[in-house]
Structure 1
Amino acid sequence: MSTHLDARDPLVIDTHELARQAGALKELHDVVEAPADLGIEVIGVPEGAPMRLDLNLESVVEGVLVVGTVQAPLAGECSRCLEPVTDEGVYQITELYNYPGREAADDEFFLEDDLLDLEPAVRAAVVLELPFSPLCRPDCKGLCPRCGANLNENPGHAHEDDIDPRWSGLAGFGGDGGD
């Protein structure tokens, strides 16, 4: 059976040395480049950024169990003030890659010619843990809704109160004290 996985891809791991021997263990400690589109609109891992993989691959009866962490830098923008946000994330991976030859469920991964593709597991671990509304700091004041000024840089920023447009027609009445 030919495979579509490329063994030269840094997120494709060769498990041949585990040789379907339950209990056989392979440690993987490596730094690889992040794939494209590893994130959401406001924050993610920049393409090509170094991701540190610290994984154990263990041969089990059903396949190869991958357990460990992925550490990756994050870049995005604050959801309140739109300033750049950077962080470092550590994400847990626990995924079973089944041996071929059994019915596949939608959420299961399979080995292909002793190769396993870590990208879908890494993508799921990272993207599902990203903050939906990242902040530059917990007490970010955001932007002025009226003029867009950054309230973190100018905390005393204020505008004169607007007259409610429903009352603007009454603005000329009673101001001179005559009637």
Structure 2
Amino acid sequence: MSESHESRPAQAGPWVLDTREIGQRAGASRSYQRNAPAPAGFGLDMIKVPEGEPVVLDLLAESVVEGVLVSGTASARVAGECVRCLDPVSDEVEVEVRELFAYPDSATDASTDDDEVERVVDDLIDLEPVVRDAMLLSLPSAPVCSPDCQGLCSGCGVKWAELAPEHTHETIDPRWAALQERFGGSEEEK
């Protein structure tokens, strides 16, 4: 096993599974249902799982020849801001999880790079990176409060939904601005 695997500390907690509970007999399995608190930064800039929010894990860990196959679902509440009007956005996200964690010194461990497959470290599996990656891929990069959100008026910053249909801002072509200052009136009157 490479040094980077050994130096990565695995700690007991809601994100960590102890593979000794399953054993290394191919075909042995165990179900896990637990709530794990979301760490800071569990999401994107505009939408994320709030720190400390429970991530509900419903998983099956199966011992296979090369390691432990973990499959199931992870779900959580997400919160953020609409990219168009900045109103709060909240939703539920549920993702499928399916990942092989290779045993140390297995053929898979020896034949793959560090970032190609997850590893079993000191008989422990850290689920957090796998669940985080699956959730990140499922979150919208540009969340909206509703599909028909019109956003904010670029002139005054008020939501278009709250403005009258005839709302406008007079814009003056900068080439005519000096003439308007000198002679007064609007561009349409000239």
**How does the TM-score come out when normalised to structure 2?**
0.84
Q: In the alignment, does 2:61 pair up with 1:57?
A: yes
Residue aligning to 2:3: none
What secondary structure, in the 3-state scheme, does the structure 2 residue paired with 1:28 have? strand
What secondary structure, in the 3-state scheme, does the structure 2 residue paired with 1:152 have? helix
Task: State the Cα RMSD in Å.
Answer: 2.2
- Given the alignment, which residue of 148, 166, 169 partners 2:175? 166
Quick check: which one's helix share is greater?
2
Return the alpha-carbon distance in structure 1 between the equivalents of residues 8 and 157 of structure 2. 53
Identity rate, percent: 47
| Alpha-carbon spacing, 1:117–1:149, altered in 2? closer, same or farther (3 Å) | same
Q: Which runs of 4+ in 1 moved over 6 A?
A: none
Q: Deviations over 1:118-177 (max 9, x none)?
A: 01101111112111100011111100011100112335361243221223345449x9xx
- Given the alignment, which residue of 89, 92, 95 partners 2:96? 92
Q: Which amino acid aligns with 2:64?
A: V
Unaligned 5+ residue runs, structure 2?
1-5
How far 1:6 sits from its partner (Å)? 1.1
- Given the alignment, which residue of 145, 149, 152 partners 1:140? 149
Aligned residues: 174
Q: Which amino acid aligns with 1:122?
A: V
- Given the alignment, which residue of 110, 113, 120 partners 2:122? 113
What secondary structure, in the 3-state scheme, does the structure 1 residue paired with 2:31 have? strand
Unaligned 5+ residue runs, structure 1?
none
Q: In the alignment, does 2:51 pair up with 1:47?
A: yes
Contact 1:44–1:75, Cα closer than 8 Å, also in 2: yes
Contact 2:82–2:144, Cα closer than 8 Å, also in 1: yes
Q: Which amino acid aligns with 2:151?
A: G
**How does the TM-score come out when normalised to structure 1?**
0.89
Residue aligning to 1:81: 85
